Amino acid sequence: MHPLLPSLAAAGLYAGATLYQGLRFGRRQAPDKRLLGLLGALALIAHALSLNLQLLPGIGLNLDFFNASSLIACAVIALTLLGSARIPVENLLLLLFPLGALTVLLAEFVPGGTSQPINEAPGILAHILLSILAYGLLTIAMFQSLLLSLQDHQLKHKHPSGLIRNFPPLQTMESLLFGFLWAGWLLLSLSLLSGWLFVDNLLAQHLAHKTLLSCLAWLVFAVLLWGRHQLGWRGHKAIRWTLAGFCLLMLAYFGSKLVREFILHI
């Protein structure tokens, strides 16, 4: 089976879910969670099928730049959909569904770089899985911080939009942000630990920048969580630290991957 059909199906379902959610927010009405969840689940199934065909074309795991982006987006949306059954995070889907549509289309239509298929031991694969889950949760935290910033700005200026009117209270939004940060930071810690245990020469030339930036991101998130616990950091300070840590983490993975695959061709 060719991945074109499931890729187009996933993009179409993501677009439909985004349109439905956006129209409901525009009318200052909450979207039907069951319908939104159904559209998201169908899109996610098509996305996963497309990824299966793209990531496993033969021997090894084809984790090039765009496939990796699509995989992380799929993981982020899956985590958010699962979480929405218990906690009020469905507003994040308005940002995540377009991200899913974009990444699945890029993975299908834009040629990848020169990344070699990964055919490694279970320890390396566990490191990759932990990294993807950590990136996924910290990506959710980044989007949550953006929505928190928007909510805070509109409430201070007393002109909340239809989107903001459907948000949980500001305190709940902030608690969700730090819940995502704690979970993402713990997974990032495990990812770095597994890298030291299983990756040969983690400070080799092609891994040094990734390792350094990942450690800096880990430190930024650690300081933020300490500041929250010890000094009561919140609001704009928490948002700025979250975005700083996320930028370092994305540079660590996608920046180094972009340079290696499309500039250095290694």
Domain membership of residue 203 (yes or no) is: yes
Q: Does 114 score more than 70 pLDDT? A: no
187 and 258 fall within a common domain: yes
The whole domain housing 158 covers 120-266
94 and 142 fall within a common domain: no
149 in Cβ contact with 167 (< 8 Å): no
59 and 126 fall within a common domain: no
The long-range contacts involving 179-183, CB below 8 angstroms and separated by at least 24 positions, are 180/137, 180/138, 180/140, 180/141, 180/144, 181/138, 181/141, 181/221, 181/224, 181/225, 181/242, 182/225, 183/137
Q: pLDDT category, 211, cuts 50, 70, 90?
A: confident
Return the higher-pLDDT residue of 116 and 73.
Answer: 73
Amino acid letter at 164?
I
Q: pTM of the predicted model, to two decimals?
A: 0.82
**Phi, psi of 118, rounded to the nearest 5 degrees:** -95, 120
Domain membership of residue 215 (yes or no) is: yes
Return the higher-pLDDT residue of 100 and 115.
Answer: 100
Q: pLDDT category, 126, cuts 50, 70, 90?
A: confident
Give how many domains the chain has, as a whole number.
2
CA distance from start to end of the chain? 29
Of 212, 188, 210, the C-alpha closest to 259 is: 210
Domain membership of residue 259 (yes or no) is: yes
Domain membership of residue 104 (yes or no) is: yes
224 and 156 fall within a common domain: yes
pLDDT at position 221: 97
The neighbour count for residue 199, using CB atoms within 10 Å, is: 16
159 and 227 fall within a common domain: yes
Structure tokens at 143: 């989007």
Q: Does 266 score more than 60 pLDDT? A: no
106 and 157 fall within a common domain: no
133 and 98 fall within a common domain: no
C-alpha 59 chain-centroid distance: 27
193 and 251 fall within a common domain: yes
244 and 128 fall within a common domain: yes
96 and 151 fall within a common domain: no
106 and 185 fall within a common domain: no
pLDDT tens for 48-107 read 999 988 887 666 677 778 888 899 899 999 999 998 888 888 889 999 999 999 999 999
Q: Does 265 score more than 60 pLDDT? A: no
Residue with tokens 């959610």: 21
102 and 154 fall within a common domain: no
Domain membership of residue 246 (yes or no) is: yes
Boundary of a domain, candidates 79, 112, 145: 112
User: Which positions ≥6 away from 113 have C-beta within 8 Å?
Assistant: 64, 65, 257, 258, 260, 261, 262, 265
Q: pLDDT category, 228, cuts 50, 70, 90?
A: very high
Domain membership of residue 186 (yes or no) is: yes
254 in Cβ contact with 65 (< 8 Å): yes
pLDDT at position 56: 77
pLDDT tens for 140-192 read 999 999 989 988 888 777 766 656 677 778 888 899 999 999 999 999 999 99
Q: Give, as one character, the DSSP assignment of residue 266.
A: -
Domain membership of residue 70 (yes or no) is: no
Section 111-131 average pLDDT: 71
Of 28, 149, 144, 156, the C-alpha closest to 89 is: 144
Q: How does the average pLDDT of the chain come out, rounded?
A: 85
pLDDT at position 138: 93
Q: Does 219 score more than 90 pLDDT? A: yes
The strand pairing partners of 118, in sequence order, are 61
Domain membership of residue 3 (yes or no) is: yes
Q: What span, in angstroms and rounded, lies between the C-alpha atoms of 266 and 261?
A: 6
Q: pLDDT category, 120, cuts 50, 70, 90?
A: low
pLDDT at position 40: 96
Q: pLDDT category, 222, cuts 50, 70, 90?
A: very high
pLDDT at position 17: 96
The long-range contacts involving 30-36, CB below 8 angstroms and separated by at least 24 positions, are 30/166, 31/90, 33/84, 33/90, 36/90, 36/93
pLDDT at position 86: 85
Amino acid letter at 123?
G
Q: pLDDT category, 239, cuts 50, 70, 90?
A: very high
pLDDT at position 254: 76
